[in-house]
Amino acid sequence: MVAETLLAIRDLKVHFKLGGDRVVKAVDGVTIDILRGETLGLVGESGCGKSTLGRAVLRLTEPTSGQVFYRDRDLAHLSGKQLREQRRHLQIIFQDPYASLNPRMTVGQIVGEPLETFRLARGREVEQRVQELLETVGLSKRFTKRYPHEFSGGQRQRIGIARALAVDPDFIVADEPISALDVSIQAQIMNLLEKLRREKNLTYLFISHDLRAIRHVSDRVAVMYLGKLVEIADAKTIYQEPLMPYTKALISAVPVPDPRIEATRQRIMLEGDVPSPINPPAGCPFHTRCPYAIDVCKEVVPQLVEIKPAHFAACVRISPKMPHIEDVPPGAAPGLE
């Protein structure tokens, strides 16, 4: 079966103007299809642009250029009214369950508001629907009269999820939904999101810096670095056989909860920090920290290439014929041939 594309993101850019002629290229030419029913994990370090990408897809942040196709319409160029109609199908869950719920509204009002905005229910129906939604996310339906401050972080995240579900969306951007939560609560929220995806046939863009969580929830994973996607593959493959040097370092840096594995593990240590997105390096954005960088990496911007079936990586030092950088002769750039 050929998977159906739900959202097609094409050369999406979000550039923020600072003073003078300084520009932050937060998202710089991202192209990817999000398939119906999948969880696409988007992973990267702080400042790589992953949250901006998530927001730009929903136009919570205005894209500078590019397209986002959903149901044959380009969300990036819809007018206000048309955009609002489409937004019903596209929702977001935020990282901070303390900041994303209005403290002056009751849980009933928070979860019921989208129902009224989109005229999906009225009067008593709203109340009933809210109660159903609360139970769906594992909260008591008696909570409708309470305020956000009466709840723990995990419970607030459940309220945020109920609010996103109220409009019966197709697609949800989950922006670091578990980062602010305790370990035992993280597992609960990951399991809840997975259960909802199966039951409601949802599609997720799951954004996180937590590689263990990403590995667990995602079907496919996209790795982002300084505004660009640098590798895309299915979740298992990208962990077992990362191809792009940044992904290799990222995966090797993840602490594994097993002292026997940790005792013998060889880590790829990266030098230095992520460069500033205000003045990103020319050529490959990763060349300043890459242990495999050669002169040509400072000049050529690598494109995402299908190195192995359904496994894309942006690195000029590898190619479909020479997928493993360890096997490439010193100084060679098979990706340029």
Partner 1 sequence: MSANGALLEVRNLRTYFDTEDGVVKAVDDVSFQLQRGETLGIVGESGSGKSVTNLSIIRLVQEPPGKIVSGEVLFKGEDILLLRPAAVRRIRGRRIAMIFQDPMTSLNPFMKISRQLMEMTQLHLGHTKGQAYEHAIRMLETVGIPDARTRADSYPHEFSGGMRQRVMIAMALSCEPELLIADEPTTALDVTIQAQILELIKKLKQETGTSVILITHDLGVVAGMTDHVLVMYAGKIFEQAKTTELFARPGNPYTKGLLRSVPDPTAEQGKLYQIPGLPPDVAHLKPGCPFAERCDRVEEICRREFPPFVELTTDHHSLCHFAHEVYGG
The Cα-based distances of 39 to 35, 73, 174 in angstroms read 8, 22, 10
Q: What is the closest distance, in whole angstroms, from the C-beta atom of residue 66 to partner 1 in the complex?
A: 26
Q: Which is nearer to partner 1, 78 or 187 (CB)?
A: 187
Q: Which is nearer to partner 1, 58 or 325 (CB)?
A: 325
Contacting residue, 85, 135, 150, 182, with partner 1 by CB under 8 A: 182
Q: What is the closest distance, in whole angstroms, from the C-beta atom of residue 223 to partner 1 in the complex?
A: 12
Contacting residue, 45, 96, 113, 132, with partner 1 by CB under 8 A: 45
User: Could you say whether residue 296 binds partner 1 (CB under 8 A)?
Assistant: no
Beta-bridged to residue 12, according to DSSP, are: 30
- Residue found under tokens 């969580």: 213
Cα angle 21, 25, 28; round to 5: 135
User: Could you say whether residue 336 binds partner 1 (CB under 8 A)?
Assistant: no
User: Could you say whether residue 11 binds partner 1 (CB under 8 A)?
Assistant: no
User: Could you say whether residue 135 binds partner 1 (CB under 8 A)?
Assistant: no
Dihedral sign for Cα 24, 42, 224, 154, please: positive
Interhelix angle 107-117/124-136, nearest 10 degrees: 120
Which 152-171 positions form the footprint of partner 1 (CB under 8 A)?
152, 154-155
- Residue found under tokens 């995966």: 251
Long-range Cβ contact pairs of 251-257 (< 8 A, separation 24 or more): 251/211, 254/211, 254/212
User: Could you say whether residue 274 binds partner 1 (CB under 8 A)?
Assistant: yes
Contacting residue, 21, 258, 326, 327, with partner 1 by CB under 8 A: 258
User: Could you say whether residue 256 binds partner 1 (CB under 8 A)?
Assistant: yes
Dihedral sign for Cα 226, 227, 230, 236, please: positive
Interacting residues toward partner 1 by CB under 8 A:
45-46, 152, 154-155, 182-188, 190-191, 194, 209, 211-213, 215-216, 235-236, 239, 249-263, 265, 267, 269-270, 272-274
